[in-house]
Structure formats: C-alpha cells, structure tokens
Structure 1
Amino acid sequence: MSTSLITNIGELTTNVGLPEGDRFGTLHDAAVLIDGGRIAWVGSADAAPVAAPDADAIIDAGGRAVIPGFVDSHSHLVFGGDRAAEFEARMAGQKYAAGGIRSTVAATRAASDDELRARLRGFLDEMLAQGTTTVEIKSGYGLSVADEERLVRLAAEVTPEVTFLGAHVVPAEYADRVDEYVDLVTGRMLDACAPHSRWIDVFCETGAFSVEQSRRVLEAGVSKGLLPRVHASQLGPGDGVRLAVELGAASIDHGTYLTDADIAALAASDTVLTLLPGVEFSTRQPYPDARRLIDAGVTVAIACDTNPGSSFTSSMPFCIAIAVRDMGMTPAEAVWAATAGGARALRRDDVGLIAVGARADLVLLKAPTRIHLAYRPGVPLVEQVWKDGVAVFAAPSKARGTENRGSLA
C-alpha cells in the first residue's frame, strides 16, 4: 500500500480536542501521513521528515487549510423530474407544503433505473467537487413496493448509508387510506427494502404522518434491524422530537420549530439535531437558532438535504455559509457540524475527523483558513479531495491524472 504525506498545512482542522481547550483540534504548520487509505500520523510539519521518511508521495499544501471530508447525513439523491416552477412560486410568496413531493414521485416512477443511476452519479460528482466524501441517501420518491426497493437498491450501489423512507408522504392512490398505506410500509415494502438499507426514517409532520403512525413505522424498521431517524418539526411544532429521543433515534432532522422542552430533551440525549440550511433558504421559513441549540448542549449537524423540492443544492460550503450568517454559528462550529456532526448523526467514528486510524478523507482548500468557507460564499474553494487516501477530485489547475469516483461510503 502506498503512503502519502501532506505537509506545509497552514491550518489543519482535526476535530480531535486539544488539551488547551480547542475542541476543534486546530493545528498550524502541520502535516498528515496517509497509509493504505487511513490516517497513519498527524503532527507538526517540522516533525514530518522523521515521522514519514519514506513516503511515496509528498504533497505541499502551500500554507493552505486542510479539513476532514464533509459528511452529508441527509440527502434524497435518487429521483426524477424537476420542480423549478414550484421554487419560482415560493419566491413569489407561495407557502411551502409537503404535498409537492407527489409530483416528484410521478417523475421518479416514470424514470428508468439507468436514468436514475446516471443522475445519482452526477450528484455524487458535484458533492465530491465541493468536499463531501460521505453521504447518506434516502428513498421516499417511489412510494410503492417496487419503486422504493429500486431506490434503496440504487443508493446502496454508492453508499452503505441508505435510508428507507417509504413513509415520506402518503401517495395519491392511498390519499383516503393512510393507515392502509402504513400497513404497506411496515409490511411488504419494508420486507423488500430492509436488505438494502441501514436506516428507517419517517416524516412525522402535519400533512405527512402522525406520531402514532410514525411510531409504527420506526418500530417496524427496528424489528428488522434498521436504525431509526426522524424528519420532524419542519412545518411547525410537534411530537417528533419526543418520539425520536424516546426510540433512541440517531438524528432528528429539520428542527425548524422547536420548543424549550424539545431542546432540553435533545440536550439530554444522544440524538443529533441535523439542521438543513438549504431548506430554509429555499422555502423562506425562519432559520433555526443554532446558537441557542449549541449553547443548550444539543449536538448539531449540518446537511444539504439535496432534493428537487425544498433544497436543490449539493454544496456543503453553501450550507456552512448560511449557518454562519443566519443561524448564529461560528465558522469553526459550522465546519464541525458538517464533518464530525454529520458523522455522529450516522453513528460513525471513522469519518468526520483527522486522527490516526480514521479514514483518510481530507479536503485541501484554496484558502489559508476554514473561515473562508463562510467568508467567500459561492466561490469554489476546494483545491483537492482525498477519499480513503485516493485523490478523487482536483480543481482544474491540478485535475490532470485524477478522476471523480461515484461512491461516497
């Protein structure tokens, strides 16, 4: 196995807390040794020649910043169609509602496997180019046994972090038979999808599924060995947070409308709150107060929620910039939430950090500090990306000899 040394790193974010109290593990004038797809050594650039005397390749970071690869713990990448007209209507003042999902269901059902697969790989390439090296992918745009099965099967081709979300909304053919649809989701649909999935999710919200129906879905998934996650409190306050904490869900996602009791429950639990800044940007709902959440002791992640209706962005740097400007996070907190926070939302300890033994998923920025991710919004600041120690993306000036790889494990 080859070894690579990245040295002359101006600012290295490790996400491994330092004794002097820096919980982001920030090192300056640093170096990282990669061996066989894992991190083998982290330390001072001055010590690198002694720590890694025989590295096969030496990469000079030129004083620029290196961060862990982004961990996007909430996405919906397998779908057909487009909802640009719906976005335009919202920008003109129309209120967002969950019902628009059904138009994507129709387009997804009409698309072939090859069409969906090609589009999925296109999104993965977008994500790699913006520093995302691990992604979770949900189903939820099939809403029939056959279509949900193929969505999780296609997602499983590119990531182990696959979520069965048959309980996204009630499809049109079950509009007046919601409990019958829940029976389908917890029965034949779950049987077909569980072999391809790690997670079970439900949209516990007005216009989607009640807390009682959501409990049925989650408990059925757990009985099949799937781990629970919950969409909740996006459109208004509800009981989704209480349910998620009670069932030990890895994350509750959205959390736009939280009560004091919700925040206290999350702070006392292991459930991560995944914030989705692109959703509030696209729907014009109020931004959650991340400062209040962090100060209360809630573990916060940031994800893109890439989907055609409420957040059609695959850019984690864009979401970081929003979180800093409009949600009260510091740049360091936002980067942590998009890396280590996402890893915690996926119950992973091998990604989202730069430490000995972790996967060698790293991002070299065209900037001296991580602050620039928020300071220079919309500017392509990713210079190079490594996934499992392999260079999978390089900016155009360095792109010769590299290629994108459509797999984000």
Structure 2
Amino acid sequence: MSATLITNIGELTTNVGVDGDPGAALHDAAVLIDDGRIAWVGPSSDPSMWRVAPLSSANQGRTRHVDGLEVVDADGGAVIPGFVDSHSHIVFGGDRAGEFEARMAGEKYAAGGIRSTVAATRDASDDKLRTRLRGFVDEMRAQGTTTVEIKSGYGLDVATEARLVRLAAEVTPEVTFLGAHVVPAEYAGRGDEYVDLVVGEMLDACAPHAKWIDVFCEAGAFTAAQSRRVLEAGIARGLQARVHASQLGPGEGVRLAIELGAASVDHGTYLTDEDVAALAASDTVLTVLPGVEFSTRHPYPDARRLIDAGVTVAIACDTNPGSSFTSSMPFCIALAVREMGMTTAEAVRAATAGGAAALRRDDIGVIAPGKRADLVLLDAPTAVHLAYRPGVPLVKQVWKDGVAVR
C-alpha cells in the first residue's frame, strides 16, 4: 500500500487535542498515512514531514504522485476522523413509510411496529438482503461513516436471525445479536418462552457470527428480568453487552447495563438523575440517537446534562425502517447541536471518538500516529459547517484504512 500525504488542511480535528484541550483543533495541518495507519500529524510547514516539495499554487486542489507518495491538497478544507456509527439495524426487508406518515399525522410511536418488518425480512432472500445491506453501507460511506455496528433483530426465529448476523459479518466486525428485539407474534403472551429460545437455540446459531449481545429493555418489549437472562447468556458465550433502554419511558435498563458492564446504553431519552449519576461513575457510554426523536416526535435527550455530569456520549443514526430511517451522521450531528444542547465540537467528538468508545475500540475515532487511517475531508473550512449547513453534502473525500473509498 502506498503512502498518502494530505496537506493544506484548514482545520484538523484529531480528538487528541492541543495543549491539554481534547477539543482543540490543529490549523494549517497535514496528515501522513502509511500502510493503512496514521504515520504523522502536524503543521503543513513542519520540515520534518516533507518527503516532497510543497505544492505550488498551480497544483492546489489536485492529487498528484511524487516518488511513490500520493499528495492530496485539502485546499483549506477541514479533516475529521471517520464517523463511527455504533448503532444500526440495516439488514431488513420491507418498508414502513406508511407508519411514518401516520406518526406525522399524530399517531403515537410504540415498539410493536417492528413485527411488520419481521414478516418482510423473513420473506426476503439472502441475495435481496445482502444487496440492500451493501447499499446502505455505501450510502453511509458516502456521508463519512467508516465504521458501522449492525444488529440483527428483524428475524426473531432461529434461521432468520442466523442469516442476519451472518450477512452483517460480511461487511463489519461489529455485529450484534439482537434476537431480543421484541416478542414475535407467534409468541404473543409467552415472552418467557421466547426468551428460552433466544438464550438457547437462537444464541447457539448466532454467537459464532457476532461480537455483541443486545436487548430491548422497555415496556412493550422485555422486562428487566428477561433482559438480564438474555445478557447473561450472551456474556457466558463470550459476547459483549449493549442495551436499548429508556427510549419510551424511565426503566431499569440503564442500571442493569451498568451492573453487567455493558459497553453502551442506547437511546436514554428518559433518564432519571440516578441513571445519569450511575452512568457518570461507570465506563458505560450513553449513545443518543437524534434521528429517532426526529422521526417519533419524542423529546430529545438532554445531552448537555449528560456531558456536564461527566457521562461519555456517543451519537449514532439507528438506521432502521421504523423509527429512524436516516443513515446520515452529519444530519444527526446537526440535530444534536440544535436540539440536545451540544456544541459542534462535542457532537463531532461524540460521532467519532464517542462511537469508538461505545464499541470499545481505541484504534478508530481519533487521528493520531498508529491509529487506523479513517478520515473524512469536508468541502468546508471547519467542522462547524456540519451543523451550520444541515442537509448539504459536505463530505468531499473519505479514506478507510488509508484507502480512498470516496
């Protein structure tokens, strides 16, 4: 793999910081990539990194090769780490546009709508699911997402759940078994029996393809006792825990997640003061999902409250057909800034380093020597434009493991 030098960067967000300030950015910066990793970060004018002569004005805005080194002129654009989307559900069949339309007309969102997607997913072939999945990954990549977590949860039977985790594993190492998404129609009124299936035959079929175990601990889905059974069974099989909790109302899911050492609690729309204090005292990340509140009209979580309390916050899209059918991390950043009390720097950090923390990864989400070269060049002078210009396609170029993928 050849080396790449990105120079003339107007603003470089490293998530490492400057002079003790983790949010500080570098200006007039350069990044050297070698063999898929960050090899050097510093000022464009630093003579220690120049393996080629500085670009002349005639070459600005161009990519050129000099002595085996690809030189990319960022032309004053901002560079940030690739987005780490730590919560998605992008292996599914069907569509729920009608449900969205009904919500916009005033119908209340409830967890049970998942069952319509389950029926469509069970009917879809592997090829159809695979094609759609890869389309979503490409869509995310074009918007700057370089790492994505993918959950199952739209099969809810042994054969289909196994198909979903197997397909997800084709495109990401961050695969989550979410057999405990809701109780399927054929087990209505028999939630405990369905949990028996999840922690037994279904887990046996899915664990070899997954890294994570998840459960929807919520009224209308699974009780705290049922959720504990699911999580403890997955942990016993070597999977790591994550939890959907407090999306529709306060509950016991946050404290259960912390007790069991879950990497993240996702949603957190309705948190008590005790929940916030417990999260701040733990290493469990709270992942906010702004697209959900946009789509369901539930109140947005107060991220300012969380950050000020010392909670590590991540932002993810929760791409799914029912409650958040967006794959745009820039859109979610704009919502977090507008509706959740975050600064743009905090939101970008939550969408990069925060997502990495939610996946317990220390090789992504930052731009520093030795880390994976997952980078995004913006067609804008600062990352503030991600919130300042919502809906505008500002992602100009994307590198994944040092390879330009856009």
Sort the TM-score into its range (normalised by shorter chain).
over 0.9
Q: Which residue of 2 aligns with 1:15?
A: 15
- Contact 1:5 1:52 survives alignment (8 Å): no
**What are the within-5 Å matches in structure 2 for residues 112-151 of structure 1?**
112-151=125-164
CA distance in 2 between counterparts of 1:67 and 1:323 reads: 17
CA distance in 2 between counterparts of 1:51 and 1:279 reads: 46
Could you list the per-position Cα deviations for residues 310-364 of structure 1 after superposition, in whole angstroms to 9, with x for gaps in the alignment? 0000000000000000000000000000000000000000100100000000000
**What are the within-5 Å matches in structure 2 for residues 181-330 of structure 1?**
181-330=194-343
- Contact 1:242 1:262 survives alignment (8 Å): yes
Q: Which residue of 1 aligns with 2:2?
A: 2
Could you list the per-position Cα deviations for residues 118-153 of structure 1 after superposition, in whole angstroms to 9, with x for gaps in the alignment? 000110111011000000000000000000000000
- Contact 2:213 2:241 survives alignment (8 Å): yes
What is the one-letter code of the residue matched to 1:11?
E
CA distance in 2 between counterparts of 1:241 and 1:302 reads: 17
Unaligned segments of structure 1, at least 5 residues: 394-409
CA distance in 1 between counterparts of 2:401 and 2:219 reads: 41
CA distance in 1 between counterparts of 2:250 and 2:107 reads: 21
Instruction: Please report how far the alpha carbon of residue 24 of structure 1 lies from its aligned counterpart in structure 2 after TM superposition.
Output: 2.1
- Contact 1:33 1:52 survives alignment (8 Å): no
Structure 2 CA distance for partners of 1:217 and 1:50, relative to 1, 3 Å: closer
Instruction: Please report how far the alpha carbon of residue 34 of structure 1 lies from its aligned counterpart in structure 2 after TM superposition.
Output: 0.3
Name segments (4+ residues, structure 1) moved above 2 Å. Answer: 48-55
What SS does the corresponding residue of 2:46 show, helix, strand or coil?
A: helix
CA distance in 2 between counterparts of 1:256 and 1:177 reads: 28
Instruction: Please report how far the alpha carbon of residue 17 of structure 1 lies from its aligned counterpart in structure 2 after TM superposition.
Output: 2.9
- Contact 2:40 2:49 survives alignment (8 Å): no
Q: Give the TM-score, by structure 2 length.
A: 0.96
Instruction: Please report how far the alpha carbon of residue 236 of structure 1 lies from its aligned counterpart in structure 2 after TM superposition.
Output: 0.2
Instruction: Please report how far the alpha carbon of residue 55 of structure 1 lies from its aligned counterpart in structure 2 after TM superposition.
Output: 5.8
CA distance in 2 between counterparts of 1:309 and 1:46 reads: 50
- Contact 1:272 1:298 survives alignment (8 Å): yes
CA distance in 1 between counterparts of 2:248 and 2:319 reads: 18
- Contact 2:303 2:340 survives alignment (8 Å): yes
Could you list the per-position Cα deviations for residues 198-238 of structure 1 after superposition, in whole angstroms to 9, with x for gaps in the alignment? 00000000000000000000000000000000000000000
Instruction: Please report how far the alpha carbon of residue 177 of structure 1 lies from its aligned counterpart in structure 2 after TM superposition.
Output: 1.1
Q: Which residue of 2 aligns with 1:92?
A: 105
Q: Does 1:370 align with 2:383?
A: yes
How many residue pairs are counted as aligned between the two chains? 392
- Contact 1:41 1:51 survives alignment (8 Å): no
Q: Which residue of 2 aligns with 1:396?
A: none
Q: Which residue of 2 aligns with 1:401?
A: none
CA RMSD of aligned residues (A): 0.9
Given candidates 81, 104, 116, the residue that maps to 2:117 is 104
CA distance in 1 between counterparts of 2:253 and 2:232 reads: 14
Instruction: Please report how far the alpha carbon of residue 25 of structure 1 lies from its aligned counterpart in structure 2 after TM superposition.
Output: 4.1
Unaligned segments of structure 2, at least 5 residues: 53-66
